[in-house]
Amino acid sequence: MNLDTRIFLDINDFARNTPWLHPIMSGYANYGVALFAGLLLAGWWVARRQASVEHMVAAVWAPIGALAALAINQPISGAVNETRPCIALHEIVVLHCNNDGSFPSDHAIMAGAVATGLVLGAVVSLAGFWLARPALGWLLTQIARTPLQNLVTAPAQSTAAQGNSR
């Protein structure tokens, strides 16, 4: 038995012994992308309040980099065409199973692009950020001069309002 199969079966044994986690993991499988989008939106919101073009550029690039890495991953995953364990192995716990290729993982690629922790995601995200940063900075600076400025920076609070909030 190869190492990948042994690791998968060990994780599956853990799943078999923790049925109380099944609803949580099923929820993540079904709604994880929405959670991920919410976290990216929260990053944008935090960057918007920083009043920094650099922070806003990073917040805007994060979802763009994730989508770019995902687009690059699709033909790679199709070419590798690794059979998913839920299809290849029998007598395992299956909460959710797609029938497309399983390697490289789209979820891992998107997470890597945002967190720059996995190879393909990191390369696409860092190279894209380096290349797109000047254009995104210019675009966001221009938007800050329009009625859409609230999308890229939080409204300034008066000094009196800041003193009252402390």
Please state, in angstroms and rounded to a whole number, the distance separating the CA atoms of residues 140 and 156.
17
Q: Give pLDDT, residue 39.
A: 84
Query: Cα separations (Å) of 32 from 25, 37, 44, 103?
Result: 9, 9, 18, 19
> 159 pLDDT exceeds 60?
no
Please state the φ and ψ torsions of residue 152, each to the nearest 5 degrees: -115, -10
The pLDDT > 70 percentage for the chain reads: 70
Helix (H, G, I), strand (E, B) or coil at 92: coil
The pLDDT > 90 percentage for the chain reads: 0
Look at residues 122, 142, 121 and name the one whose alpha carbon lies nearest to residue 56: 142
* Segments making up each domain of the chain, as ranges: 3-153
